[in-house]
Amino acid sequence: MDSHMERVLWTQDQISLRVSELASEITSDFKAATPPPVFVAVATGAFLFVADLVRKVEMPAFVDFVRSDSYGSGTASSGAPAVSLDLKVDVRGRHVILVEDIVDTGNTLSCLIGHLKSKGASSISVCAFLDKSVRRKVHFQLVGDGKFYRGFECPDYFVVGYGMDYAELYRNLPYIGVLKQEYYTGSDLILK
């Protein structure tokens, strides 16, 4: 898999350090919250990030997943997202921290924030590991006294690794990088 990468943007160590910093910021903001906050991770991309984050926060926490589909298997958004896997935890009257791998146009977060708001969350924060802010089209609105936590600003590349895929592959890379052009061209090439 390493031979598929054009360049690495963040190493495993850099990721780990930044997740620890985010976790301490979130811990100081939420440790007094009753009931404890609900970490709602956006499947599948945020699965590694949320696993690392919730093990580093020092407080009780609920953890759940939602899924929202819009991307398909390519590198460009295929339109308006819809919620395709719903929560199990009741978020009514609770503080929600929506955990995302990367924010691009902002469509997915806007859709999910609207959804969580309609379920009665008392505040909605967003914790996104990467932010491609130059590509933002929709300015999502946090709810209540929700905050925006961001790992790193991401340059305008299609990135993979640390949960993020191309055609459902590369999610298990422990670092984040950009694939060589040839691996974006067809799934038969990806597996060679």
Shortest distance, position 58 Cβ to Mg ion, whole Å? 26
- Assign residue 130 a region (left: φ > 0; alpha: ψ between -120 and 50; beta: otherwise): beta
Q: What is the CA radius of gyration of the chain?
A: 16
Go through 32-68 and write b for each residue having 16 or more CB atoms within 10 A of its CB, e for each that does not: eeeeebbbbbbbbbbbbbbebbbebbebebbbbbbbb
103 lines the binding site for ligand 5GP (CB under 6 A): yes
Contact 111, 68 (CB under 8 A): yes
Instruction: Out of 26, 42, 50, 160, point to the residue binding Mg ion (CB under 5 A).
Output: 42
User: Segment 73-102, which members bind Mg ion (CB under 5 A)?
Assistant: 101
151 lines the binding site for ligand 5GP (CB under 6 A): no
* Partner whose footprint covers residue 77, from ligand 5GP, Mg ion, none (CB < 5 to 8 Å by kind): ligand 5GP
Instruction: Out of 47, 152, 158, 175, point to the residue binding ligand 5GP (CB under 6 A).
Output: 158
Shortest distance, position 98 Cβ to Mg ion, whole Å? 10
**What span, in angstroms and rounded, lies between the C-alpha atoms of 86 and 55?**
23
**What span, in angstroms and rounded, lies between the C-alpha atoms of 157 and 149?**
21
47 lines the binding site for Mg ion (CB under 5 A): no
Contact 33, 145 (CB under 8 A): no
105 lines the binding site for ligand 5GP (CB under 6 A): yes
25 lines the binding site for Mg ion (CB under 5 A): no
Residue closer to ligand 5GP by CB (options 26, 173) is 173
Extended beta strands in the chain, E state? 5-10, 38-43, 62-69, 82-85, 95-103, 123-131, 148-153, 159-160, 176-179
Instruction: Out of 47, 71, 152, 175, point to the residue binding ligand 5GP (CB under 6 A).
Output: 71
38 lines the binding site for Mg ion (CB under 5 A): no
The residue count for binding Mg ion (CB under 5 A) is 5
The catalytic residues are 104
Which residues of the shown chain bind Mg ion in the complex (CB under 5 A)? 42, 45, 71, 101, 165
Which residues of the shown chain bind ligand 5GP in the complex (CB under 6 A)? 42, 45, 70-71, 77, 81, 100-108, 158-160, 164-166
